[in-house]
Structure 1
Amino acid sequence: MSDAAAANDHGFNPRLIVGVVAIGVIAFIALWALIALGPQLSSGNDGGGHALSKAAPGYAGIVDLAERAGAEVELRRRVETTRYEEYEPLLVLTPTHRTRAPEIAELLDAGRRGPALIVLPKWQTMAVPGQTQKPGWVSVGFPARPPVAMLPPAHFGKVAIEAAPSKAQQVPARLAGHSFTAWLPGNVQTISGDNLETLIAGPGGGAVLAQVGDRDLYILADPDLINNLAFASRDGAVGGAMLIDAVADYADADGLAFDVTLNGFGGQRSLLRFAFVPPFIGITLCLLAAGLLALWQAWMRFGPALKPGRAIPVSKAALIANSADLIRQARRELDGADAYVKSQRTAIARRLHAPAGLDDAETAVWIDKHLRGGGDLFSSLARRLPLARNTHEFVADAQALHDIRKDLLRDS
């Protein structure tokens, strides 16, 4: 059987595991990046009432028409706090029925009281599966008056929003020297208030387009004058374009800036988003590179992982070595000379069956008789070893006794 077959039979394929881990890491990073940057990367064509929507309540039509006409148009996905004296666009806010007053106040205050147009919401819409003709369109919608509480009193004062039952009609209007026709829809929505000046009046009272005091702050009560629904006819599209142009000219604005943060498409402030945008994207990339290097180092280590050994090995040799080490550390090597001589003498006498009744000196002499000539006698070594003056003499005499035992007993 080949090595590859053996690896497949007895373990995982390393390449497969590396691929799975790599795909998992990339998918994890991509998921968090999409969560952080999703609102900014979204096309916004969700059927809502904002500048990115191509549905009936959206304003993608007026945005496209203004761009084709050569106007300066921008879509703001964040709260812009910088104001340029040479460029001051008309900020168009398209809140929803769920927008709160502090959110509108933040945008107005951030612009340092630059020109702004508030387009009030009117329609509650939904897409019914199987009945929506195109993606991003809506199939069901009904008018619903927005809550008055969405307009901050500090900016607009006390206002009232009404929906007057009426038929669709044309209303002549003149604003900033522009004469045009405003195409009012049926069930037109109007606004009234003590601090509001009517620019385009509604059929049943109230204002369709109003200015807040003497400020460059305007309210379009009915969005059907400029939304995509108005672009269903040529005349409605012309009327909507003329209205936006007249308001921008009346406010002396240099362009149009459609805000989409109120509709959920802004770059919210969060630590997660900061990790994927400058300047913190550099830190994120460094941390990612450090993690990859740590993974590579763990994968490319030399040899198998080292296993910790026992503090005290289990064997006779380890026991002897530990005992010898303790004696050496205590510097008591020379104190064991008598015991070593006795152990060697006893072992040789027992193995060679020495006669009984012999004392230590007689046993040493008896051992000498079994030695070959030309070497040290056992008895002389036994007397000299306890008198050793240093470890070198002790080791030499002890080795000689060990050699005598090995020659006589034929062991190690």
Structure 2
Amino acid sequence: MILQYSNDSIYHIYSIPVSQVRRPLRNSKASVHRTPGKFKIKVVSQSVQSLPKQSSRSPRPLWGPRPSKPLPQRTQRIREGSVKLTNYKDKIYHLPIEIGTPGQKFNMAISTSYPAMWVKSLNRSSSHPYRGYNNTSSRTYIENGKTFGSYFEANQGYWSQDDVTVAGLTVKNQVFGEAVLTDDTFKNTDIDGVFGLVPPGSSADEGPTVFENMISQDRLPIPAFSLYLNRYNSSDRDSMLIFGKRDRDYCIGWFIFAPLTSPRSWQFEVDGVEVSSRMKVVSDEPGRAELDTSTPLIHGPMEEVRMLHHYLGGKPHEKLLGRYVFDCSKVDSLPDVEFIVSGQSLPLSSRDYVIKEDQDGHVTCFSAISGMYWRKDTTPNWILGTAFMRAYYTYFDKENSRVGFATARH
């Protein structure tokens, strides 16, 4: 897993499989080859100025009417199995955990695409004074004896085993990577590692994740979790990760569910992408989308994203391939972008898909929808990052092999 800082100040955590190796990966190499997806474009010859800002269909079909007056603010309750997340500038969400006995406290970036957990070791080589996990101080530490590593030499160390507590729930003998060599992925933040939340059974050599051990050790009423993500510097209630249930306090109306298309990831079918029901990006076969908290953006096939911004009025960024910018004076009049899931519309307003950044008094309006070249038949057509999930309270239901979406209560 690599966190990258680019010129537009956007963090990306690229999820990279970890594996058990018997020697450091100092000489390892990896490359990625991608080809465009199979999507076709169907468009109505119409400019963005003539498109309605909102969809012609109901913005939230099947979810019941919107309330006629603002909903009363409810007192936010934090129950066992729920944990507050910290929003780092709409780029990373992290949670507090404890490792060992007595518990050592750390902040971990959540990732719904990473198949393990790793934390910085107190014994790691670094010129920066980060805190780290000290296995000699824990009565419940068990030496694992296997080497921990990842591609691109991002992190190296060894697998360790200890009790882990999160959201008031303790799992015994959790295996995790203890990183001795790191590239200071989370430099200038309070984040100490990554907390993987892939579906149970997705990890291989790494062993069960914390979520999987919660299930096997009967710590959850049902094998599921849900996410409410707030907006940075807003009046929204705190972001929450809730294990074992859905909480109606964080959403409005009914859920739209989509079955998983892969047992190893939170991937599901997308029927298409539309701009206010006028411009459609459709395919001969349903597309694939994966929910990934590791990225703040929404990544899609390069050509489809280009056409999408053509009708939104976005211009290609001069230096960043696949990125687009908007005229900030026109952002409030931009139409909705709709993802069609299970035959229903999941619209994003311009507030959801436009990122405003102020650099030395100059405000740039970036699109959160980015184009990428995908590796053929091995990756989803769309990766829906936190820009998408802030709009929807998201339910990750392993028991029924599905994901669910309801309008987030902001």
Task: Report the TM-score, using the length of structure 2 for normalisation.
Answer: 0.20
Higher relative contact order (CA 8 A, sep 6+): 2
- Relative to its length, the structure with more strand (as a share) is 2
Task: Tell me which structure has the larger Cα radius of gyration.
Answer: 1
